Amino acid sequence: MPSRENYRGRRVLFPLGVVLLATAGLALTAGLNRWLVFLVGVGYLGLLDDLAGASARGWREHGRALGRGELSTGAVKAVGTLALAAYAVSGEDVAGAELVVDVLVLALAAHLGNLLDTRPGRTEKAFALTAAVICLGSRSVAPLAPIAPLLPAVALCAWLTLSERAMLGDTGASLVGGMIGVLAVTTLSAAGSALLLAGLIVISLYGEFRSISAAIERVPPLQRLDSLGRVN
């Protein structure tokens, strides 16, 4: 596996997300599961960004690239993620506004994974917290069923990223973010999904203009959680 410098200048394995992508692909061979199709798809779209070494970051930069007539990998990823999300949600018993909300939740959750993946283990922690809250709220681990085959691989990735041996890359960050979206749309009520979508929009817009890392460091409880398990 190739290597790349992380935020502290250490060379680490990159992109570790290919481990998650391979795991999801193997799980998919056991039977067609539209959620796994979505996750494998966003993983490959993230891999496209990783392999291309795209310099454009954020919606604004990709929008400028399109304005110059350049087809950026980010634009391909955005359109592809929306299409995959629409496919996944089409199997649900929802329509109209609810369907649109669920599609956007899936797409923006995948994007959230990338926004958070600027420090080791942050994306995996966001997934773990989401899973814990949803399972506690439902008093069951049943919500984990659609993504259960990936849980050991996510735990392995968290250990490797927190110890700064590897980075997820867009491949893994998109996939783990997508797992957050799958948990949400398969368990939350319509009102809950709408509230989550509003939160994802706010975070996405904030990430376009401000540093999420700086915001986390300004809030002591978030900073302690963010650094938990990370090497010094």
Q: What is the per-residue pLDDT across 154-197, written as a single tens digit (0 to 9) for each?
A: 999 999 999 999 999 999 999 999 999 999 999 999 999 999 99
The residue assigned the tokens 């994974």 is 113
pLDDT in the model for residue 1:
77
> Phi/psi at 4 (nearest 5 deg)?
-155, 155
> What is the C-alpha separation between 176 and 186, in angstroms, rounded?
16
Whether residue 42 contacts residue 178, with contact meaning beta carbons closer than 8 Å, is answered with yes
The band of 66, judged by pLDDT with boundaries at 50, 70 and 90, is: low
pLDDT at 32 over 90: no
pLDDT in the model for residue 168:
97
Residue 143 to residues 10, 90, 94, 108, 204: CA-CA distances in angstroms?
A: 37, 19, 18, 20, 25
The band of 150, judged by pLDDT with boundaries at 50, 70 and 90, is: very high
* Amino acid at position 15, single letter: P
Contacts of 184 (CB under 8 A, 6+ apart): 105, 109, 130, 134, 192, 193, 196
Domain ranges of the chain: 3-227
This model's pTM is above 0.85: yes
DSSP 55-66: ---HHHHHHHHH
pLDDT in the model for residue 160:
96
Task: Tell me which of 70-74, 84-88, 104-108, 143-147 is least confident.
Answer: 70-74
> What is the C-alpha separation between 151 and 204, in angstroms, rounded?
25
- pLDDT top residue among 54 and 130: 130
Contacts of 7 (CB under 8 A, 6+ apart): 118, 119
CA angle (89, 93, 99) in 5-degree steps: 45
> What is the C-alpha separation between 97 and 103, in angstroms, rounded?
10
> What is the C-alpha separation between 147 and 187, in angstroms, rounded?
13
- For residues 204-232, average pLDDT: 91
Q: What is the per-residue pLDDT across 100-129, written as a single tens digit (0 to 9) for each?
A: 999 999 999 999 999 999 999 999 999 999
Looking at every residue in the chain, the average pLDDT score rounds to 91
- pLDDT top residue among 24 and 92: 24
Provide the residue count of the chain. 232
